Amino acid sequence: MGAYLVERLVFLEWIRTLAGNEQVYFPQPLAESSFHFARVHSSSLLALEDFDDPHRTTIFRASACVPPPARILAPEGEQLFTFRRDGAGDCTLTPVLDSSRRILAGVRPCDLKAIALMDRFQRATIPDPHYLVRREHTLLIGHDCLHPCDRYCFCDAAGSLAWREGADIFLTPQPGARLLVEALTDQGAVLLAGAGFPACGEVEECRARAEARRPDPFGRRFAASLDDVMAAVAKGWDADVWQEQSMRCFSCGTCNLVCPTCSCFDVRDDFSVEDPDSGRRTRHWDGCMLENFAVVAGGHNFRKSPAARQRHRVMRKFVYQPHRFGGTSFCVGCGRCRRQCTVDIDIFEIASELLAAAGEGA
């Protein structure tokens, strides 16, 4: 497929050049310690971590950027269709499908996995054309992690660290401020073919060198296997942990919004102020932690308490979605929900407590 050994700064310059002609997204610093995954412009500050810098002073927390790359594939407020009403009052509706090409670069293994899971979810039963058309025209440039992002990361425990599926190109940091750049798909190979990068003749060695650099354990570890965790969560419906961990929850929905496998939405209609005979239907990020998410006509709320909503969120990640979509945990261990939570509610702790409780019960 093609593998290259490229100086990091040369690669970043190539990304910037690509961005001159097409939509390229990359993690970028937003404030002192936070990164967002955003469109690259000529003035964008691009950086990648250094193999030789174990303290990671040159790179920050780009790996856990917000919003997660998966959200670029289902953007907030995306149009589903536009409409126009004629003189007789009849409407013509035109679906909006975004087939412009995008490149999402610097996507970490946890986010590659999240996108693969969203692909599976969006293709299932009745496929969502708006997501899938955008996805079909999106290239992914993955980036390996040699260090956990911070003390909240548990990607290895969640089975995400080795994930490559979905990446068209994959980057692995190498000593001497270089990157191993591998094409994993034909589309990735085509994109790299014109870059003029020097070929790499020792791909296996480069990979092994990077892997040896990883600390062990890599991030937080569950006290048992991921399968055991998922089984423990499934058995935890009546556990006290839901109430204990939700007493301080504001139901702000941040955990939903930053989760790379959350995709729930609400739908809204608008007409133009200037021309009320035209308008659009759009969809908007929604979250099951918000108070009114499960309200039905007549006012009944099927998940009235924060504890019930917390349980639904955690069950959805470890039990419900895996049950329907191929058995893989939909929590990828990125730690974003814990990191962004204003009251420190931690899905890892919740799962760990349920695991401990299941152990006592056995």
Intra-chain end-to-end CA distance of the chain, in Å: 49
Q: Quick one: which of 106, 142, 260, 279 contacts another protein (CB under 8 A)?
A: 279
Residue closer to another protein (CB basis): 11 or 293: 293
288 binds another protein (CB under 8 A): yes
Helices 109-123 and 129-136, axial angle in degrees (round to 10): 130
The DSSP-derived string for 119-184 is: HHHHHSSS--HHHHHHHHTEEEEEE--SS-SSTT--TTTTT-TT--TT-SEEEEEETTTEEEEEE-
Q: Quick one: which of 137, 265, 305, 356 contacts another protein (CB under 8 A)?
A: 265
Q: Does residue 333 contact residue 110 with C-beta atoms inside 8 Å?
A: yes
**Could you tell me how many residues of this chain bind another protein (CB under 8 A)?**
56
Interface region with another protein, contact rule CB under 8 A, candidates 53-61, 200-208, 318-326, 336-344: 318-326
Interface region with another protein, contact rule CB under 8 A, candidates 15-23, 42-50, 247-255, 263-271: 263-271
132 binds another protein (CB under 8 A): yes
Interface region with another protein, contact rule CB under 8 A, candidates 64-72, 176-184, 212-220, 278-286: 278-286
Taking the C-alpha atoms of residue 82 and residue 104, their distance in angstroms, rounded to an integer, is 27
290 binds another protein (CB under 8 A): no
Within 156-215, the residues that bind another protein by CB under 8 A are none
Residue 326 — left, alpha, or beta (φ > 0 → left; ψ -120 to 50 → alpha)? left
Residues 187, 193, 197, CA angle at the centre, nearest 5°? Answer: 130
Residue closer to another protein (CB basis): 52 or 266: 266
Burial class (CB in 10 A: 0-12, 13-18, 19+), 208: exposed
Residue 251 CB, shortest distance to another protein, in Å, is 16
Residue 129 CB, shortest distance to another protein, in Å, is 5
Residue 302 CB, shortest distance to another protein, in Å, is 5
3-7 β-sheet, strand order = 3-7, 178-183, 169-174, 138-143, 102-107, 23-29, 35-39
Within 53-82, the residues that bind another protein by CB under 8 A are 80-81
Residue 41 CB, shortest distance to another protein, in Å, is 31
Taking the C-alpha atoms of residue 102 and residue 21, their distance in angstroms, rounded to an integer, is 11
Q: Quick one: which of 150, 187, 203, 320 contacts another protein (CB under 8 A)?
A: 320
298 binds another protein (CB under 8 A): yes
Residue 55 CB, shortest distance to another protein, in Å, is 41
Task: Residue 213: name the closest of 173, 177, 158 by CA.
Answer: 173
Radius of gyration of the chain (CA): 22
Interface region with another protein, contact rule CB under 8 A, candidates 31-39, 41-49, 120-128, 154-162: 120-128
Question: Distances in Å between the alpha carbon of 96 and those of 93, 103, 134, 196, 301?
Answer: 10, 20, 11, 37, 33
Binding-site ranges for another protein (CB under 8 A): 80-81, 83, 85, 89-95, 97, 121-130, 132-133, 237, 263-271, 276, 279, 281, 283, 286, 288, 293-298, 300, 302-303, 312, 315-316, 319-320, 323-324
